[in-house]
Copies of this chain bind each other. A is one copy, B any other.
Amino acid sequence: MIDLVSELERITGTRDVVVGADLRARAASSMNVESHRAIALVRPQSTEELSEIMALCNKRGQAVVIQGGLTGLVDGALAGADELAISLERMNKIESVDAAGRTITAMAGATIQTVQRAASEHDLLFGVDWGARGSATIGGSISANAGGNAVLRYGMMREQVLGLEVVLADGTVMSMMNSLIKNNTGYDLKHLFIGSEGTLGIVTRAVLRLRPTPRSVQTALIAADDFSDVVALLGSLDAGLAGGLSAFEVMWQEHYEMIVKEGGHRRVLPDGYPYYVVIEATGSNAEADAVKFEAALGDAMEAKIIVDAALCSSTSQRQKVWKIREDVDTFMRVLDPPIPFDVSVPIRDMEEYVSKVYADMKSTFPRARGTVFGHLGDNNLHFCWTVGSNAPETVEAVSKVIYSKLTPYVGSVSAEHGIGLAKRKYLKYSRSCEEIEWMKRLKQVFDPDDLLNPGRIFDANCCE
Contact = CB atoms under 8 A, between A and B. Distances in A.
Interface of A: 98-102, 123, 144-145, 147, 151, 153, 155-156, 158-159, 172, 174-189, 191-192, 194-196, 200, 211-216, 231, 234-235, 238-244, 282-285, 287-289, 291-292, 295-296, 344-348, 375, 377-380, 410-419, 423, 427, 430-432, 434-436, 438-439, 441-442, 445, 457-458
Contacts of A200: 187
A104 B416 CA distance: 23
A211 to B, nearest CB: 7
A438 B189 contact: yes
Contact of A151 (B98, B102, B181, B212): B181
A194 B192 CA distance: 12
Contact of A291 (B244, B285, B380, B434): B285
- Which of A186, A191, A445, A458 has the most chain B CB atoms closer than 10 A to its own CB? A186
A153 B181 CA distance: 12
How many copies make up the complex?
2
Chain B CB within 10 Å — which of A242, A410, A434 has the most?
A: A242
Contacts of A155: 159
A414 B184 contact: yes
A282 B243 CA distance: 10
A191 B176 CA distance: 15
A98 B231 CA distance: 12
Contacts of A457: 186-187
A434 B172 contact: yes
A170 to B, nearest CB: 12
Contacts of A240: 284-285
A178 B100 contact: no
The 4 closest A-B pairs by CB, nearest first: A191-B191, A242-B284, A212-B239, A182-B415
Contact of A347 (B101, B282, B442, B445): B101
26 contacts: A147-B184, A155-B159, A158-B188, A172-B434, A175-B434, A179-B346, A180-B410, A183-B414, A183-B430, A184-B195, A184-B414, A184-B417, A185-B427, A186-B436, A186-B458, A187-B195, A187-B196, A187-B200, A212-B239, A242-B244, A242-B284, A242-B289, A243-B243, A244-B244, A285-B292, A289-B292
Given A212-B242, A244-B242, A235 B178 contact: no
